Structure 1
């Protein structure tokens, strides 16, 4: 039953992405959430108008696509926001089917392939003249002569990329291994874990970790955003759980150079590491969808769900890019995970911090900047539902995945590091 029956134009959000629903619901857009769960926390938001049950993409990717196309055929639905890791693949691969009914802001499939395939992405970075860690196939490595990272070649392991997958199946592989010079990882174990021939990247001694987000129109930026990641899911790395909005002109220039070179179209979430030895911003990966830390982006004033809506509905001239600097936000469950990682995680390449100092830093930063991804006083039920899920049902990571739409989350922009020996402004801005 619609809460705003007078709304005539609808947006489809194919997940429990609370921030997308809130952003567009606040602006009077009728919000239709599509999920395989009846109890996703975001569905209890006062900004969610409808919840439609669909097959889980993990069960059958084609059935998931068909269900979204069926909802898109409704005359009130104008666009679909890519929020899940698999959405970029599905929307670009089946773009002709979707565009019979709605307008999507996504790259063509060949451009998407250059981004999903990290080996091709490295070649594109070399062509564009922007820094990226040396990237090779695991099968090409005879011996490890420097610190390295083994990680999946593809953001989405699917039939168009790996022959052993049929159109109905795919995997989001998040495994990452840190390797020291002289190590000899078991090849059969690596292939079984990664489910394809992965890549090896040179390890980057990191001064800082950044996210650069953008919305592009065929090679031209409509809006951009940057944040500095202060803490990740683990002390060894992972997606941001405490971040602050920043603007660095060098990062802006490097990112735009790459996206312009590949004639990018749509959303881009890019992870960068600042090399502690060279000072360069080194590209790690690009995701063509909304990102885990989207709540912090919108809190700083960069309303990308609304920007996407405007572009998809022929109103890109109404986009007013810009954001406030120095706005820090927290993902609370992730902060707890960071603290626990100091006890349980290990890496041969990253020094373990003091547990007492870590607890103090987390607590004091929350006190200084009490801004949170889901906890909102004017819409409290989704956070309460999320806490219930986290404590009694599926655990914090899966509950958060429902709320962000990233059900295979292993990080904001990157893979979740494994424990043990294995691991990984806008066009204008306002001063705070």
Structure 2
């Protein structure tokens, strides 16, 4: 197979971009790392990165960013495959989808669908329409707001942004957990002052290991062709954070729920649905959808689903055979740096013991950053972290 189409990867300053570059580079695909700064882009240090580019900032200079992408594509002999590795890049691509599809190969064809799936409020409505369970939710502008919180949602509860990336950029956390009306009012005021829209949701009971994912690729007919399911063990920040120690686990019920939902809404490309299993009822609740390559992409690759390559092959006209991981591999994704921070907090709050942590570690790993075959990004990462610590 001759790879005429380049792969343009947006965001190499995080390990998601790094794993994407590696997943494509091992197949000889020409990879292009695009960032808005040459600072801390350790993913571009991979030996599998063919080209490094600096583009205008995707938010501060949005139109210039789009022009930059189009100008680059015009110079190529074949349309590149465009792969965003951060929610903010996805939002911009979705906004300019019709323009960009003239120059790039992109899985989604319906403008706005990725954004609706990312937005917590519109996702809640989509899921409800399709009969998928979601946590009970109250919107800030509803009548009898506080009465509904006390009778339907109850404390403690979470104040959740509709736009996660903007919220995380502002507050460095995914949600506000509140224990009473005073804390709720304070959280709402913070969100209001930051001009960020939020909703209030019930907390589904269960420890972090009740978090599961359905990871799937849907072809241009909006049919699931590749999939697996996973179970989170630890996340950071704890209880409401991102995966730092997650294992592949076969859970057929999640396929039944997740595949039907994604196909019903006409989704195309890769998606990861996060579910939480209610510790009291055993029912699975849809929490959110990631519409781009996710944190534990290296785990998916290790268990046999190379999502970036699956995407590339289908978009360039040579799709891979469908595949599902329907056994338990016992392999886990491990982001050591943040897992150490998570372990500290789990132990401090009494949610885990040191023995619990140690006994969990004896499993085959898929590392977030480290690769014996491609060590340079790891050295760049530690250099970056040492610089940050020194400045503090």
Out of 99-108 and 265-274, give the one that drifted further: 99-108
Q: Given that residues 116 and 156 in structure 1 are in contact (C-alpha distance below 8 angstroms), is that contact kept between their aligned partners in structure 2?
A: no
Corresponding position of 2:108: 106
Corresponding position of 2:377: 382
Segments of 5+ residues of structure 1 without an aligned counterpart are 1-5, 159-169, 345-351, 396-432
Pairwise CA RMSD of aligned residues? 2.6
Cα displacement (A) at 1:376: 1.0
Corresponding position of 2:350: 353
Structure in which a larger fraction of residues adopt helix: 2
Q: Given that residues 89 and 156 in structure 1 are in contact (C-alpha distance below 8 angstroms), is that contact kept between their aligned partners in structure 2?
A: no
Distance 1:382 1:14, change over 3 A: same
In the aligned structure 2, how far is the partner of 1:76 from the partner of 1:393? Answer: 41
Within the alignment, does 1:71 sit opposite 2:72 as a pair?
A: yes
In the aligned structure 2, how far is the partner of 1:101 from the partner of 1:228? Answer: 38
The counterpart of 2:127, out of the listed 125, 128, 136, is 125
The counterpart of 1:341, out of the listed 334, 342, 345, is 345
Q: Given that residues 11 and 77 in structure 1 are in contact (C-alpha distance below 8 angstroms), is that contact kept between their aligned partners in structure 2?
A: no
Cα displacement string for residues 46-78 of structure 1 (whole angstroms, at most 9, x for unaligned residues)? 111111111232432333222222222222452
In the aligned structure 1, how far is the partner of 2:178 from the partner of 2:162? Answer: 16
Cα displacement string for residues 122-147 of structure 1 (whole angstroms, at most 9, x for unaligned residues)? 12211211111122312322243113
Corresponding position of 1:221: 224
Cα displacement string for residues 268-304 of structure 1 (whole angstroms, at most 9, x for unaligned residues)? 1211111111111100111211111211211221100
Q: Given that residues 274 and 282 in structure 1 are in contact (C-alpha distance below 8 angstroms), is that contact kept between their aligned partners in structure 2?
A: yes
In the aligned structure 2, how far is the partner of 1:172 from the partner of 1:290? Answer: 23
Within the alignment, does 1:272 sit opposite 2:275 as a pair?
A: yes
Distance 1:155 1:106, change over 3 A: farther
Cα displacement string for residues 79-107 of structure 1 (whole angstroms, at most 9, x for unaligned residues)? 11121112222222212221222221125
Corresponding position of 1:33: 33
Distance 1:373 1:156, change over 3 A: closer
Segments of 5+ residues of structure 2 without an aligned counterpart are none
Q: Given that residues 331 and 365 in structure 2 are in contact (C-alpha distance below 8 angstroms), is that contact kept between their aligned partners in structure 1?
A: no
Within the alignment, does 1:149 sit opposite 2:193 as a pair?
A: no
The counterpart of 1:251, out of the listed 251, 254, 257, is 254
Q: Given that residues 79 and 105 in structure 2 are in contact (C-alpha distance below 8 angstroms), is that contact kept between their aligned partners in structure 1?
A: no
Corresponding position of 1:83: 85
| Superposition map of 1:27-426 within 5 A | 27-38=27-38, 40-73=41-74, 74-140=76-142, 141-143=145-147, 144-145=149-150, 146-147=154-155, 148-155=157-164, 174-180=173-179, 182-183=181-182, 184-186=184-186, 187-193=188-194, 195-206=195-206, 208-217=210-219, 218-316=221-319, 318-323=320-325, 325-342=329-346, 352-353=349-350, 357-358=353-354, 360-393=355-388
TM-score by length of 2: 0.86
Q: Given that residues 137 and 200 in structure 1 are in contact (C-alpha distance below 8 angstroms), is that contact kept between their aligned partners in structure 2?
A: yes
Q: Given that residues 12 and 77 in structure 1 are in contact (C-alpha distance below 8 angstroms), is that contact kept between their aligned partners in structure 2?
A: no
Q: Which runs of 4+ in 1 moved over 6 A?
A: 170-173
Structure of higher RCO (CA pairs closer than 8 Å, 6+ residues apart) = 1
Cα displacement (A) at 1:256: 1.4
